[in-house]
Every structure is written in structure tokens, then in C-alpha cells.
A = this chain, B = another copy of it.
Amino acid sequence: MKEGPDIAQIGSLIGDPARANILTALMGGRALTATELAAAAGVTLQTASAHLSKLEAGGLLAQRKQGRHRYFTLADDRVGKLLEGIMGFAASRGHLRHRPGPKEPALRKARICYDHLAGDYGVRMLDSLIEAGSIFAVGEGLSLTAIGEKHLGSIGIDVSGLRSSRRPLCRSCLDWSERRAHLAGSLGKALLSNFLDKGWARRTENSRSIFFTPEGERRFLALFPLELSDGARQPEASQPGLTNTP
């Protein structure tokens, strides 16, 4: 016993329902105030304050004072990835919260996962990019190709600018609703920002779901077509000479 890092500490941080609600709310990516988080968690401000202190001490949250407000975010994208990983696991065990609520379908269709697009649309986007040869996939690894750089450049994504950041360009993130990978990393973030900037979609209040306008939806689907039928989708692309599929 007592081997390795202390998983119990962060487990218990995530294990409290109020704190889990706070973390889930912050998965939306935007910075929220203590008051907003208290409402999200369903507790009073005092209680939320105590939770927020613990989460920050545990390294899960970062805060930034702005006037008399105190804005909280997830500490970094590693926290987001960790939480999405746990969500994926929980979803696979059927531990959905009680019963699917009315907002559930919208959430499954398109939602924000920390800072990038997830849900059916997120998965579709990655599938389409792989099919088009824009992204090269090996197992769980993703890499932008020269074709992809040109392709995305044409819709206004400055790849070379993204590459200067410390953060990996492409990262695969397991989608809890689709149980398949979608695109994360700085490129995933840039793509979602691009859609929001163009007005194709907008964020909804108090929810992680992303609402596409009819026009935006049309354009999105045109930009990311899928040739294969749904049943035949192959998430793990391979190449001659490479053998990774189970």
C-alpha cells in the first residue's frame, strides 16, 4: 500500500456532487464567478466558496481577480482532458446522471468540451478531416498533413500561428456521448472559435451545448462531408505498412 501518487485526494475533490457540478460547469470553457458557480452547483455562496478554495488548493482550478469579481477556470487543458476522460468512463458504465434530461439531445449533438467542439458534430468533423486526408491518424495519435494545413488555411485558420504555442496542435479526445474520438488541441480550439466568429454557431447560456444556426449547420455539413455510411465508419485510420488495428 501507499505506492505512487495520491489518487484519493483528487478523487475526493471530484467526488463531491457540488464540486463535480462546478467542474462540469467549467468544462464549458468560459470563466465563471463564484456566484455563478454556486448557482450551477445548487449550493449557497458560502458553501461554494469553500469548495472553490479546495479545488484551487488541489490544483484543479485557477482564479483571476477582476474588480470585485473572482473568475474561475479549469487550471489548464490537462484538467479538461482528465475530466473528459472520467466522463467517458462514467458514460460507458451507464452512469448517466439519473435519467436523460430534456437538454440531453442538444448536448449529444454539439457541445463544448473545455474549448473545442464535441458531440456528434465534433466526431463528424474529425472523421471528415481524416477522410479528406487533412489529418493523419495512427491509433489515438493525430497529425495535421500539408494538405490539411492548406485546406484549413483556406477557411481562415492560421496554422503556423497555432504552432508557436506550447500546446500540441492536434490531440484526440474521447467523446463520452459518441464513444469515439474528436479533435482537441489548439487546432480544435481554433476551429470552434472560427465557427463562432463566423456566426455559424453560438454558445448557449448555462449549458455546454452549442447551437448551430440553420445556415451555419448547412455550411458546416458541407465543409465536413462524410463519404462512408454511418455503419462503416472507421475511427482508426491506417496506412500501408502500419498495423495497429485490433
Instruction: Give the interface of A toward B (CB within 8 A).
Output: 1-17, 19-21, 23-25, 27, 39-42, 58-59, 78-79, 82-83, 85-98, 101, 103, 107, 136-146, 149, 163, 165-172, 176, 207-208, 236, 238, 241-246
Is the pair A82, B87 in contact by a Cβ cutoff of 8 Å? no
Is the pair A13, B10 in contact by a Cβ cutoff of 8 Å? no
Is the pair B166, A246 in contact by a Cβ cutoff of 8 Å? yes
Chain B CB count within 10 A is highest, among A1, A39, A136, for A1
Among the listed B5, B149, B176, B238, which residue makes an inter-chain contact with A96, where contact means beta carbons less than 8 Å apart?
B5
**A59: chain B residues within 8 A (beta carbon):** 93-95
Nearest Cβ distance between residue A109 and chain B, in whole angstroms? 13
Is the pair B244, A169 in contact by a Cβ cutoff of 8 Å? yes
**A1: chain B residues within 8 A (beta carbon):** 21, 24-25, 39-42
Q: How far is the CA of A245 from the CA of B165 in the complex (A)?
A: 10
Q: How far is the CA of A171 from the CA of B245 in the complex (A)?
A: 11
Nearest Cβ distance between residue A6 and chain B, in whole angstroms? 5
**A169: chain B residues within 8 A (beta carbon):** 243-246
Q: How far is the CA of A42 from the CA of B3 in the complex (A)?
A: 13
Is the pair A17, B21 in contact by a Cβ cutoff of 8 Å? no
Q: How far is the CA of A226 from the CA of B232 in the complex (A)?
A: 41
**A21: chain B residues within 8 A (beta carbon):** 1-2, 8
Chain B CB count within 10 A is highest, among A2, A59, A141, for A141
Is the pair A3, B168 in contact by a Cβ cutoff of 8 Å? no
Is the pair A139, B246 in contact by a Cβ cutoff of 8 Å? no
